[in-house]
Amino acid sequence: MTNRKLKSPKRVKKTEADLATFKLIINNQGQFIVEQSLYPLSKIDLHFKKENKGLVHAMIRESRTHFDILHDFLEKLMKQLS
């Protein structure tokens, strides 16, 4: 019986990150679904360079604000059209 070494996963330095995403989805029953995803603010210090941290934090904060406004607008629109 031979001992095999398991390959440890290599850490890959990523060159892109999804900081904020907003999806408007319609399912097969005609229901609209809003999905929003924001990069965790607690991970910014860990994953971004010092010179980019302030900008990344501001972009995520502003995205959250505008996503909430867009979500409210879409809800009002759906109520008006129903």
Paired strand residues for 23: 35
Give the pLDDT of residue 42. Answer: 94
Q: What is the pTM of this model?
A: 0.74
pLDDT value, residue 13:
78
CB 34 within 8 A of CB 22: yes
Q: Tens of pLDDT along the chain (82 residues)?
A: 556 666 767 777 778 889 999 999 999 998 889 999 999 999 999 999 999 999 999 999 999 999 999 999 999 998 898 7
Helix (H, G, I), strand (E, B) or coil at 30: coil
pLDDT at 38: 96
pLDDT at 9 (0 to 100): 72
Place of tokens 């934090």: 57
* Helical residues (DSSP H) of 18-49, grouped into ranges: 44-47
Q: Quick check: 38 and 23 in contact, CB under 8 A?
A: no
